[in-house]
Amino acid sequence: MGKVAIVKCSEYEEKLVDGKVREAIGLLGGIENFISKGDTVLIKPNVLRASSPEAHVTTHPLVVKSVVKMVQEAGGIPTIMDMTWVGSLHSTKKALAETGLMDVGKELGVEVKGFEENGWVKVKVNGKIFRELYAPKFLMAADKVISLPKMKTHLEGIITGAIKNWFGCVPMKFRRIGHSMSIDEIADAFVDVYLMREPDLVLMDGVVGMEGNGPINGELKKVGLLLAAKDSVELDRTMSKIIGIEDVPMLKRAKERRIGQGEIEIVGEKIEDVITPFKKPVTVAHKIPKTFRRAMMAVMGSGLEINKSKCTKCLDCVKYCPVTAIKFTKWPEIDKQKCILCFGCAEICPVEAIEITASPVKESLQSLRKFLKL
Ligand code: SF4
Ligand code: SF4
């Protein structure tokens, strides 16, 4: 039988959060149940974009800090890693600083990095959508992995909890594939990526969540809870009951695929005592026919271009590319069919000759979407 811990935590005050994180993990048997001395431990919060902790778009740094301290006390060697929705190291580094995670790392002597920094490794998955994915090398190599999602709603996933937190582990190409599918296919894609390397422990920051049109433009919702579990699906099933949104495609797909469907023992607070109904996201995106959306994605998609006036032909990009998508004849050339949009070549180019391009159509649609709060 699975176990999900529900603990009340009324505000982001350091001592309070630290005590409550310890209480939640303690209800699952303590950190020693998950971490052994000498384990390398990847801690993945939700660092969707560069925004301050007060915006509540990302996992709060105090929650991350407490988990890092507990891992250190258990003798583990933690590293905090994530990647933004833009999927470039520049944006990830900015986000890791703005969200307060760099400060956590400095204070506790822990590395804070973007997934892009350690490169990617090909992973076979027995998925419904994906048979093969590229995963961060560190994710696949770490002895233990801890997921720290944020309690929010999501325009495409309906909720962004523990399963969806894992979609942030794959390069842009796979995430873009997801955004051009039907809602059921997207749900399967989320589950496929989650199965690539399931976390060993999940702790959800639900002190202040987000309802409505999350994960960025929703309305803040004070929930006052932390949830913890070993199993991400069981945690999301519990979250969906608490927020009163149980019609969640990725949870339905997980059920049909018999993933995380054991009985759940709730420890700590009872679900019925902490019910906090959330507004559902309102989206029109999935009413647009799939073929039309695929065509739109093709037009809107970002890409990479080599700026020949800057390139010194050092070949670093050719050597780096994890999928050998860069050929060198007279100049480096990117094979767009092979490229997984990890943006690693753009990051390592010593003269910034590889430029990330976004079409004007994409930019105008993004502004329109922001304006309409879609
Ligand atoms: S890394 Fe930059 S400078 Fe070197 S070959 Fe590639 S594009 Fe040119
Ligand atoms: S070409 Fe660049 S962005 Fe594309 S997969 Fe290779 S390193 Fe990544």
**Tens digits of per-residue pLDDT, 147-178?**
999 999 987 789 999 999 999 999 888 887 65
DSSP E strands, the chain:
2-8, 40-45, 77-82, 111-114, 120-124, 132-136, 144-148, 150-154, 158-160, 201-211, 219-229, 264-268, 303-306, 326-328, 332-334, 354-357
Give the model confidence (pLDDT) of 179-224 as tens digits: 567 788 889 999 999 999 999 999 999 999 999 988 888 899 999 9
Establish whether domains 2-280 and 287-372 are of one fold.
no
Ligand 1 touching residue 327 (CB < 6 A): no
Q: Whose CA is nearest to atom 6 of ligand 1?
A: 317
* pLDDT number for residue 294: 54
* pLDDT number for residue 360: 43
Determine the atom of ligand 1 nearest the C-alpha atom of 307: 7
Q: 40 C-alpha to center of ligand 2: Å?
A: 28
Give the model confidence (pLDDT) of 88-141 as tens digits: 778 889 999 999 999 999 999 999 999 988 889 999 998 999 999 999 999 999
Architecture per CATH, 2-280: 3-Layer(aba) Sandwich (3.40)
Determine the atom of ligand 2 nearest the C-alpha atom of 340: 5
Q: Whose CA is nearest to atom 3 of ligand 1?
A: 311
* pLDDT number for residue 58: 96
Backbone angles phi, psi at 236, to 5 degrees: -65, -35
- Tally the C-alpha atoms within 13 A of residue 95's C-alpha that lie toward its C-beta: 27
Nearest ligand, measured from the Cα of 356: 2
Output Rg (C-alpha) for the chain, integer angstroms: 20
Q: 88 C-alpha to center of ligand 2: Å?
A: 11
Nearest ligand, measured from the Cα of 309: 1
Ligand 2 touching residue 339 (CB < 6 A): yes
* Domain ranges, ordered by start, for the chain: 2-280, 287-372
* pLDDT number for residue 343: 74
pLDDT-above-90 percentage for the chain: 69
Q: Which pLDDT band holds residue 246 (cuts at 50, 70, 90)?
A: very high
Give the model confidence (pLDDT) of 261-282 as tens digits: 999 999 999 999 999 999 998 8
Ligand 2 touching residue 323 (CB < 6 A): yes
Give the model confidence (pLDDT) of 294-346 as tens digits: 555 455 455 788 999 999 999 988 988 888 899 999 999 999 888 887 777 87
Q: Which two tokens stand for residue 135?
A: 């995963």
d(CA 50, CA 92): 8
Give the model confidence (pLDDT) of 225-236 as tens digits: 999 999 999 999
Determine the atom of ligand 2 nearest the C-alpha atom of 120: 8
Determine the atom of ligand 1 nearest the C-alpha atom of 314: 4
Nearest ligand, measured from the Cα of 341: 2
Nearest ligand, measured from the Cα of 354: 1
Q: 323 C-alpha to center of ligand 2: Å?
A: 7
Q: 317 C-alpha to center of ligand 1: Å?
A: 6
Determine the atom of ligand 2 nearest the C-alpha atom of 324: 6
Ligand 1 touching residue 332 (CB < 6 A): yes
Q: Whose CA is nearest to atom 8 of ligand 2?
A: 342
Q: Which CATH class is domain 287-372?
A: alpha beta
Nearest ligand, measured from the Cα of 343: 2
d(CA 144, CA 42): 6
Q: Whose CA is nearest to atom 4 of ligand 2?
A: 339
